[in-house]
Every structure is written in structure tokens, then in C-alpha cells.
Homo-oligomer: A and B are copies of this chain.
Amino acid sequence: MVLRAKPEKVEERERIRLALLRATLLLAARHGFAGLGLREVSRGAEIAPTSFYRHFADMAELGIALVDELVAPLLHDWLEQTSLGLASARLPAQVLVEQAFAAAQRDRDLMRFVLAERGGAMPSCRAALRRELAEWSAGLAPLLDDPSPHIADAVLTLLLESLSEALEDGGGAQAAIDKVEAQLTRLLAAPAERARKKP
């Protein structure tokens, strides 16, 4: 029996698998993940439709793989960079916004996918994404002055909305940045009563 197929064989398999995932990202930007078919994705990855089954049982399985293998690393990276930034003396709102846009720029298609499918029509994919995003938020909370999970959730929600606006049209990113920075500054500012308690 074959325990491990060898060098180029495995490498080629991984190449095609990744091609399927990346093709899905690209095509989902147009019709949405739920409106995507196995034949369309296979065409995008330049394989025969029937070859799709050598990698995934159906589109739902592919969607979950996409979240596990591409989205999760992006989010972990994003959280890590944000954590580093917050540890510096810089303004929290500024760091949060800067790192959110940096993460989006690292992989625009992937971030677009996250933003769209977080509320998308494919339940399995949406559930997986919301789980990952909840984890991000839970990771952010203890890094904030007010570690309440509600505030971290609000920060994430506002950041994602801002990224949506910025990625929607080509170049209006600066307006979205200024806006969300103002929102987060306000949200994270110590309100009067808290300011009194901590002189």
C-alpha cells in the first residue's frame, strides 16, 4: 500500500487544490459564493469538471476548506500585527484601522470574500466565517483598555464595514479610513465617568 505519494505528485495535487481555492475567491467576487458552480470553478482552475471531485465532494466542502486554510491564517496574522501595534504607544484607533487595511491589502480577494460571505447565502461557509471572526474579536478584547467583549465586537463590526466601503469602489479608501478612525476614537475614548475613576 501507498503510505506517501512522492515529490512532484503531491506538489501537483496541492497546486491544483490551491488553484481551485483561488479561482473560487476570484469568481465569488462576481456572483457570490452561493451562485458559484463546480463547473465554473473548475474552468477557472483549468481542470475538467469531473476532476473537481478528486479534491472536494461539493462546493460546500470547498468553502469550508477555504475558510480553514486561507481565511484563518489571514485573521491570525491580522490579529497578531494588531496586537503588536497596540503594545506600542500609538493611538489604539489608529493602530486598529491601519492594521485592518494592511491585512486587506495583503490579500484583497480573500478579504473581499470574508466581507461578502460573512453575510452570504451559503450557510456552511457563513457559519465557518462567523466562527473565525468571533475568535478574532475574542482575541482583540483583552488588548483593549475596556476588555468587554461587546466593545471588541463593535470594533470588529465597524472595521469590517469600513473595509467593505473601501473595497467596494476603487480608490475612495482614505474617506473610509478617516471615518472609521473617528468612529473608533469615539468608541474607545474613556467616557467622563471612567475618566474620573482613573485619574
Interface residues of A, Cβ cutoff 8 Å to B: 31-32, 34-35, 115-116, 118-121, 146, 148, 150-151, 153-154, 157-158, 161, 164, 179, 182-183, 186-187, 189-192, 195
Asked whether, in the complex, the Cβ of A119 is within 8 Å of the Cβ of B121, the reply is: no
Name 22 A/B residue pairs within 8 A (Cβ), A-sorted.
Answer: A31-B34, A32-B34, A32-B120, A34-B34, A34-B35, A35-B35, A116-B121, A118-B119, A119-B120, A120-B120, A120-B121, A151-B183, A153-B183, A154-B158, A154-B183, A154-B186, A186-B187, A186-B191, A189-B191, A190-B192, A191-B192, A192-B192
B164 to A119, Cβ gap below 8 A?
A: yes
The docked-state distance in angstroms from the alpha carbon of A164 to that of B191 is 28
- Main SS class of interface, A: helix
- A182: chain B residues within 8 A (beta carbon): 148, 150-151
- Residues from chain B with a CB closer than 8 A to the CB of A116 are 119, 121
CB distance from A191 to the nearest CB of B (A): 4
Tell me how far the C-beta of A166 lies from the nearest C-beta in chain B, rounded to whole angstroms.
14
List, in ascending order, chain B residues with CB within 8 A of A183's CB: 150-151, 153-154, 187
Q: Determine if A187 and B190 form an interchain contact, defined as CB atoms under 8 angstroms apart.
A: no
Known A-B contacts A191-B192, A195-B192; the reply to A121 vs B153 at CB < 8 A is no
The 10 tightest CB contacts between A and B, nearest first, are A32-B121, A189-B191, A192-B195, A154-B183, A119-B119, A150-B182, A157-B161, A150-B179, A34-B35, A187-B187
